[in-house]
Amino acid sequence: MVLAYGKGRYVLGVVGVVMVEIQSNGEEVIDKVREEAEKLKKENDELSRRLKQEKELRAFEIYGGDSEAGELPKPPKKLTPKEYAEAVERHEVNPLKDDGFGV
């Protein structure tokens, strides 16, 4: 918060939020500062409430069942000997992998 005096008037500024010009005695300046502080507190409370709500929504998206997290992988399909031989011919299966020779 900035309070400056120049040319017979006070300038009250809340950096990045509001600038208010006051042409009076110090009591009015203090009252105006209090009003602005109350406004900022209300805005801060509202932002905090919205942030909390957004965090809760994000947590629900992550952990609430809408994502694929936590799903178990499907077990591989058992191939019949004929299907296995065809898969080896198409190079989809490496028969030496189980023996430690596969890449």
pTM above 0.75, yes or no: no
Distance CA 50, CA 10 (A): 35
- For the chain, the C-alpha Rg in angstroms (whole number) is 34
- In tens, the pLDDT along 22-76 reads 455 667 888 888 999 999 999 999 999 999 999 988 887 777 655 566 677 788 8
The predicted pLDDT at position 76 comes to 81
Determine how many CB atoms are found less than 10 A away from the CB of residue 12: 19
For the chain, the first-to-last Cα distance in angstroms comes to 66
